Structure formats: structure tokens, C-alpha cells
Amino acid sequence: MAKTRPKRWLAVMFIALCLAIPFALIYYVSTPSFHEGNENRQQQRESSQAASESRAADDKVVLVQGDRVEIANTALVYKGLVSGQICLDLYLLDLDSEHPYQQRFSADTGDGTIHMGDITYSVVSVNNRMVVLKILHIMQTR
């Protein structure tokens, strides 16, 4: 008498399942809805990272290189540390919010003050990636 294999269908189902799962994943990843969702998640991640680093608190401003922070009627963008000098772009929002005024000053200002727009700052700390400025005085023009 010939022996029958009653569990042969389990092996066939297992192989079919092992082949179907990778093909289903490849199909899902190639759909336009997956790409749109992935782009939205990536944009949200980038905006949350940028927003969490540069900030203007009560009396201090933390500027990460390349980020724009608005304080009163000015905006600052930290460009980096070049030959011991802090490089910033100053935007005067009342005059022209798109035209930067390049500012350079020594990182070793000590107790000195820096005047940019209507705001007086002093340097707390600086490195090539970020600068921390203390707001000493904001002149109110309005």
C-alpha cells in the first residue's frame, strides 16, 4: 500500500506564505500613498528638530548654525565661526525682511557689548555649531 502524506498541504501553504509576504511588502512600498506619507513624516521630523534647537528665551538667544530666530523687530542667522570671529546675518524686519546685513565680531568680547538693530547683546558661549547670546537691552521704538 502506498503511504499518503496528509501534512503536505501545510508545507505548500508555508512556502506560499513565505513568498507572498515579501511581494506584498514590495508592492506596498512602491505605491504613491506610501511615498506621500513618507515625505510628510520626513518633513515633520525635520521641522521638529529645527524648532527644538534654536530658540529665544527670556534673556538668552541660542542660535544653531543656519537657523533663523526672530527677536523683537530683528532676525538673526548664525553662519559660523571664522578665524575667531562670529559671523551672523542680521535681518531688520521693519526695513527689509529678506535682505541680510552681515555682522562679524570677535568671539572674545569679554564684558563688551554688541549692538545689532535695537538690541544689545553679550556673548555667553560660542563654538562652530552654535552661539549663545545674552540679551542685555531691547530699545523700544514703537
Can you give the pTM of this predicted structure?
A: 0.57
Of the candidates 64, 38, 60, the residue with the CA atom closest to the CA atom of residue 51: 64
Other beta carbons within 10 angstroms of residue 103's beta carbon come to 17
For the segment(s) 54-138, the CATH number from 1.10.3720.10, 2.60.120.1270, 2.60.98.40, 3.90.930.60 is: 2.60.98.40
pLDDT tens sequence for the chain (142 residues): 556 666 788 888 999 999 999 999 998 888 888 888 888 888 777 765 555 466 667 788 888 888 888 888 888 888 888 888 888 888 888 887 788 889 888 877 556 788 787 888 888 888 888 888 888 888 776 5
- 3-state DSSP call for residue 14? helix
Closest CA to 59 of 68, 72, 46: 72
> What is the pLDDT at residue 23?
93
- What pLDDT, on a 0 to 100 scale, did the predictor assign at position 52? 47
> Any idea where the domains of the chain sit in the sequence?
9-51, 54-138
* Ranges of H-type helices in 6-140: 8-29, 32-53
pLDDT at 22: 94
